[in-house]
């Protein structure tokens, strides 16, 4: 039996944050019913057409779900949603602030009607405060949370290359729902959970927050290097490729000097014999390191770092990641079905010894509408009325 088998999740979701949370629940066996606008569906379906005509975001976030097309402007559609919620364990949504309340599905009203229901909302800034109604896209939250101020080069601030604020909020929603399910087994009561993207990403900003609050300066933007540790980051090699490495302590620094740079005297050089001094004099140290690395190609440098037990990495492209030997050795790739045929999919990273995670198809818009509404006792004419686009 899958861990969440028997758990029913109803989701009014779009874009990334909520779909990311519910896909994790579906991976573990929950039945996830994704309520979408008839015909159009989740707007993330149309972000791009790169996956055989489907959007890459949607393919990533929506396998193993059932799609129910409902026009919630209709009163009968609202009644159908109430029927679903009466049988559901979890109601999760990330519509614009106040939208769910205006539809008549506020957390307070739902708690009165369904005291065992777990209700989880995801928003940009939370349900109260001066920013509540401010539009909240991932890039904008990255800016408000200070992430962009410490990401990029000294001259150019940059956002993270993935939807990190959405993902952070989605993960906290996912773990919050799991916590509420466990709590309900003990108390018999549901829960109201609120997750804001700003607060989720602010939590992830913990190290630079403390560094700024108690230090004299904020961390500087240093590209792919580290603001407070050196050597840590990219270094050029003789074949014009980049190798990344990280020195975490003085023992590793000595090893690095002796075995990789073959210059043991450098370890005690007064310019470099502590991390703070290495950070102060990183320009001079970079020249020394790259002069040595220019004598070798990237694979030779990595071999030397491995032998010295110094942390290192290739600068992989996404194509390199797809063919990564570690993912291949651990058989992390699977396939899921979709409206455009079989697609590659990574198996979820939480690996259980006796549980195989769910890898069911990605749904078309409203693909399961008729079956779900028939379960609720609606007849053909009512179903046609509720689902027409």
Give the residue numbers marked as catalytic: 226
Please check whether residue 174 is in contact with residue 166, taking contact to mean a CB–CB distance below 8 angstroms: no
Bridge-based pairing of strands 8-12 and 90-93 is: parallel
| 388: nearest Cα among 53, 11, 73, 62 | 73
Tokens of 84: 């679903």
Residue 169: both structure tokens together: 């909020």
Assess contact for 176 and 193: CB atoms under 8 A. Answer: yes
| Cα–Cα distance for residue pair 297/238, rounded to 1 Å | 5
Round to whole Å and give the CA distance between 369 and 39.
Answer: 11
Longest CA pairwise span in the chain (Å): 85
d(CA 378, CA 372): 9
Ramachandran area for residue 53 (φ above 0: left; ψ -120 to 50: alpha; else beta): left
| DSSP-derived 3-state class of residue 152 | strand
Sheet order of strands, 90-93 included:
65-69, 31-36, 8-12, 90-93, 118-123, 191-196
Contact 214, 154 (CB under 8 A): no
CA 134 to chain CA centroid, Å, is 22
3-class secondary structure, 310 = coil
CA pair distance 235, 244, nearest whole angstrom: 6
d(CA 68, CA 365): 7
Tokens at 5, concatenated? 């088998």
Q: Are 376 and 364 in contact (CB under 8 A)?
A: no
């Amino acid at each position: 039996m899958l861990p969440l088998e028997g758990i029913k999740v109803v989701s009014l979701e779009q874009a990334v944050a909520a779909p990311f949370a519910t896909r994790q629940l579906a991976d573990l066996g929950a039945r996830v019913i994704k309520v979408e606008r008839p015909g159009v569906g989740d707007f993330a379906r149309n972000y791009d057409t790169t996956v055989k005509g489907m959007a890459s975001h949607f393919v990533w976030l929506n396998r193993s779900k059932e799609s129910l097309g409902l026009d919630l402007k209709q009163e009968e559609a609202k009644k159908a949603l109430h029927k679903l919620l009466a049988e559901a364990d979890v109601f999760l949504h990330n519509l614009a602030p106040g939208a769910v309340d205006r539809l008549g599905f506020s957390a307070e009203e739902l708690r009165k009607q369904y005291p065992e229901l777990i209700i989880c909302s995801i928003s940009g800034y939370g349900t109260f405060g001066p920013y509540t109604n401010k539009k909240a896209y991932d890039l904008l939250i990255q800016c408000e949370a200070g992430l962009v101020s410490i990401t990029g080069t000294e001259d150019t601030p940059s956002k993270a290359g993935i939807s990190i604020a959405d993902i952070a909020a989605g993960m906290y929603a996912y773990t919050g729902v799991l916590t509420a399910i466990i709590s309900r087994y003990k108390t018999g009561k549901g829960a109201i959970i609120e997750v804001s993207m700003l607060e989720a990403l602010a939590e992830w900003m913990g190290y630079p927050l403390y560094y700024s609050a108690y230090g004299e300066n904020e961390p500087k933007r240093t590209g792919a290097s580290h603001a407070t540790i050196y050597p840590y980051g990219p270094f050029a090699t003789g074949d014009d490729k980049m190798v990344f490495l990280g020195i975490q302590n003085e023992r590793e620094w000595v090893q690095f000097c002796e075995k990789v740079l073959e210059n043991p005297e450098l370890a005690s050089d007064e310019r470099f014999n502590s991390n703070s001094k290495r950070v102060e004099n990183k320009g001079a140290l970079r020249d020394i390191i790259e002069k040595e690395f220019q004598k070798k190609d990237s694979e030779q440098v990595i071999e030397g770092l491995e032998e010295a037990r110094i942390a290192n990495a290739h600068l992989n492209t996404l194509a390199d990641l797809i063919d990564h030997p570690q993912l291949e050795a651990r058989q992390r790739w699977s396939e899921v079905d979709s409206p455009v045929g079989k697609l590659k999919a990574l198996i979820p990273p939480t690996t259980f010894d006796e549980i195989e995670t769910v890898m069911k198809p990605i749904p078309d818009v409203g693909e399961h509408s008729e079956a779900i509404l028939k379960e609720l006792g609606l007849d053909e004419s009512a179903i046609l009325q509720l689902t027409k686009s």
